[in-house]
Amino acid sequence: MASSSVAEARRFDPARFQTFRFTERRFEDDTAVLEYALDDEVRFVERIRFPGADGVPSDALLELLHLVAGVSYYKVAAPSSIEHAGSPLVRALYTDGLAEFGYVNGIDMRERVRFEASAAPGPAAEPLELPRRTAVPIGGGKDSIVTLEALRAAGEPLVAFSVGKPEPIRRTVEVADVDHIVVERELSPNLSELNAAGALNGHVPITAVVSAIACFAAPLYGFDAIAMSNERSASERNLLWNGAEVNHQWSKGIEFERLMRGELARRAPDLEWFSFLRPWSELAIARAFARLEGYDDAFTSCNSVFRRDPERRGTGWCGDCPKCRFVFLVLAPWMERERLVRIFGQDLLADPAQADGFAELAGGRAHKPFECVGEEAESAAAMRLLAGGDAGGFLDPSPEHCLPERFEPMARAIR
């Protein structure tokens, strides 16, 4: 902010801002510094540290990171004008990627967002000369573990990658016993102050931000591929609102994957970024995870563990949220009850108080919960399996994916 006093922050009014701007970006020492502004009044400075990096940074990838990370600050006021020409990826990110944010705040982002052409041309792509090594972003849940172990089984050189190191991520990498790159993201200090003072708030496409950070890290640490762990279920919308799809997992879906790959083809053509698990459903991935040993006490998908506020942060599975219920449900056909109870601390399917929550996962409410959970039909398929029925095709791979030729056989070997 031009003045960061608490008194000014308390008077914050999102409606009075007209334009969001990408003001400056640079890489100094080991830190990417990204600066933004609302009009000429409120300024944001984000810092992302890349400890121990000794490679040459890419200006084209730094610009991409600058554009993508901006969603965290644009949403503070969601002004109608964005001072940038906007590539197909950027345009979709600030509209479809913020569709849930818009729904919660009563804003149709397709009508709200207007991109204003920028006169300055973007930096040209340069050859990165990357060594063969695959970075696997680790989120602490079952999916990235399946990706990592499938790549390891195929003999692919790999490294774990994460933005921050929450406890589930630390435990997962410790069990995996692989090298680990940890990047540190520091949001602009005035962001939380403005959120408390009346700024607009809501879900941002965080996987897009992590992806852009990982891409920028590629030449700094030396890897030529980034294997995300986004399954086909992530492409399903939560609801239709004002004629537009609202998908909590938009930046995990295949539309974003195609747009991101198109952007990278222009900025860094020798870098592969893709989802390794795209052909598979959550149910199939759960089956593969159940065959792995050693991770039961390490992994956690419950969002309570990843809360920024330490006082509200959980220590494991809370046992009473859509994410806990869904992971329990898709693992249940493949794991013994004793093993599941040991992982979660309770049998969620045996608790009558959870019945409505499980019904919500299978389509028993107005829309699928705004969480990273699978398709409604997939939850119903898991219930059929538990009742002695079949999975109805949810264990078969989908042909809709963006797997590079080098990785397709590795992904198809998952069973």
In a domain, 322, yes or no: yes
Residue 350 belongs to domain spanning = 294-396
Q: How far apart are CA 61 and CA 215, in angstroms?
A: 7
The angle at the Cα of 121, spanning 119 to 122, to the nearest 5 degrees, equals: 135
> At 134, which amino acid appears?
T
How does pLDDT run across 269-293, given as a tens digit for each residue? 999 999 999 999 999 999 999 999 8
Of 100, 115, 130, which one is at a domain's C-terminal end?
A: 115
Instruction: Decide: helix, strand or coil at residue 174.
Output: helix
In a domain, 33, yes or no: yes
Name the domain count of the chain: 2
In a domain, 71, yes or no: yes
In a domain, 201, yes or no: no
Of 115, 143, 173, which one is at a domain's C-terminal end?
A: 115
- Identify whether the C-beta of residue 254 lies closer than 8 Å to the C-beta of residue 365: no
Q: How far apart are CA 132 and CA 175, in angstroms?
A: 24
In a domain, 283, yes or no: no
pTM: 0.94
In a domain, 164, yes or no: no
In a domain, 106, yes or no: yes
Kindly tell me the sign of the dihedral angle through the C-alpha atoms of 1, 80, 83, 261: positive
In a domain, 339, yes or no: yes
> At 195, which amino acid appears?
N
Q: What is the pLDDT along the chain (415 residues), one digit of tens a residue?
A: 444 444 444 689 999 999 999 999 999 999 999 999 999 999 999 999 999 999 999 999 999 999 999 999 999 999 999 999 889 999 999 999 999 999 999 999 999 999 997 656 678 888 899 999 999 999 999 999 999 999 999 999 999 999 999 999 999 999 999 999 999 999 999 999 999 999 999 999 999 999 999 999 999 999 999 999 999 999 999 899 999 899 999 999 999 999 999 999 999 999 999 999 999 999 999 999 999 989 999 999 898 776 666 665 567 899 989 999 999 999 999 999 999 999 999 999 999 999 999 999 998 777 898 999 999 999 999 999 999 999 989 999 999 999 999 999 999 999 8
| Integer angstrom CA distances of residue 181 from 49, 57, 90, 133, 295 | 11, 16, 27, 13, 20
- 249: which 2 tokens? 């997992």
Q: Residue 367's pLDDT is what?
A: 85
